[in-house]
Amino acid sequence: MAEKPQVIKEVNPSFHSAKTEKKTALLCTNGFQNADIHDATNMIEYFKQNFASDFSECVVVPVQLFHPADKKTHHAHLYEEILENAIKKYIADGYDIILMGYSFSASLAAKLQYKYSKYIKKLILVAPIYDTIVNGMINGYIQYVIKFHKLCKKYGARVAKAMGRNTTKGMIGLLLSILKSILCCRGYYKKITCDTLILRGDKDELCNTHSIKKIRSHLKVKNVLYRYPSMDHGMLKTIRDNKVAYEDILHFAFGTPFIAETEALAVDERSKAEQMKIKYDVDGEPIPTFLEIFNQLDPHAEDERKQDQEAL
């Protein structure tokens, strides 16, 4: 018998989600990606299949901040413009808004929540990235692009298919614009005005414990953290693995019921306080790499690396 997915939830008695009775739009931003398939696509399909008929006043909307193959869209100011236009559209249509920022765009979501605090009632931060150095984000993404390019030359299109990626065109420029967005917007975490739900996979090396600690130290509003021991930074990718996280997001947003079997463990405020006092060794957080992914695609990568070292 398969083990039930596990989630560890902080408990806050004042934090509750009743079924919404008003028109409500959950606007979902994407993270770093090489394909035009939005990160929230699977969650949107899950909502349509299981809850849409009973929550007809609610919509889940993907907000695509950039197009990977179009370099003209790789600019931080355009990300903000696109999200702001989506917010304005649903305000004009009479919706209450819930904003969900994923990965790098969590800080952008924080900025727009502050700017439109009258209309944005709740905020959801999924795998939020705060640091760009401590978590090895820069090195990791650059290694990703270089390795992906080499594998494509060696194995062809099946590599892109295996990774669900379509292009590396302009990825370095895209990465730089993403870093700029993080650095320019992360100061807005301290200006958030609404209840905030934070989700993190315990195997996530980009949204590490240091990032969570930094973000929560800035928050001045009610917030809770949900942790998923089996999930990593791609926690929005598959229905099979991550539907438990989908249900937590949708319940917080709309008050949808829980239908997936899971093992939920609750932690009280004392545990929360202990988490905020985590100590770090002199080396800080482990620098994340994508070697495991690459080695699965190219099992001879390590042998080639050793040969190159010997040649040197």
Q: Which domains does the chain have, with CATH numbers?
A: 6-136+168-285 (3.40.50.1820)
Q: Using an 8 Å Cβ cutoff, are 175 and 32 in contact?
A: yes
Q: What is the pLDDT of residue 280?
A: 45
Q: Are 69 and 169 in contact (CB under 8 A)?
A: yes
CA pair distance 257, 251, nearest whole angstrom: 6
The string of DSSP letters for 100-134 reads EEEGGGHHHHHHHHHHTTTTEEEEEEES----SST
Model pLDDT, residue 137: 56
Q: Please report which helix (H) or strand (E) contains residue 225, including its range.
A: strand 223-228
What values do phi and psi take at 33, rounded to 5? -155, 155
pLDDT at 73: 94
Question: Phi and psi (nearest 5°) for 233?
Answer: -70, -20
CB 65 within 8 A of CB 79: yes
Structure token pair of residue 269: 């405020």
Number of H helices, E strands in the chain: 11, 8
Q: How many residues would you count in the chain?
A: 312
The per-residue pLDDT string of the chain (312 residues; one tens digit each, 9 = 90 and over) reads 456 778 999 988 888 788 898 999 999 999 987 777 899 999 999 999 999 999 999 999 999 999 988 889 999 999 999 999 999 999 999 999 999 999 999 999 999 999 999 999 999 999 999 976 555 555 655 565 566 667 667 766 665 555 444 555 667 788 889 989 999 999 999 999 999 999 999 999 888 888 899 999 999 999 999 999 999 999 998 888 899 999 999 999 999 999 987 777 777 644 444 444 444 444 444 444 444 444 444 445 455 545 544 544
- H or E stretch including 310? helix 301-311
pTM of the predicted protein model: 0.78
**How confident is the model at residue 109, as a pLDDT?**
98
Q: Could you write out the DSSP letters of every residue in 36-88? A: SS-TTHHHHHHHHHHTTTT-TTEEEEEE----TT-GGG--HHHHHHHHHHHHH
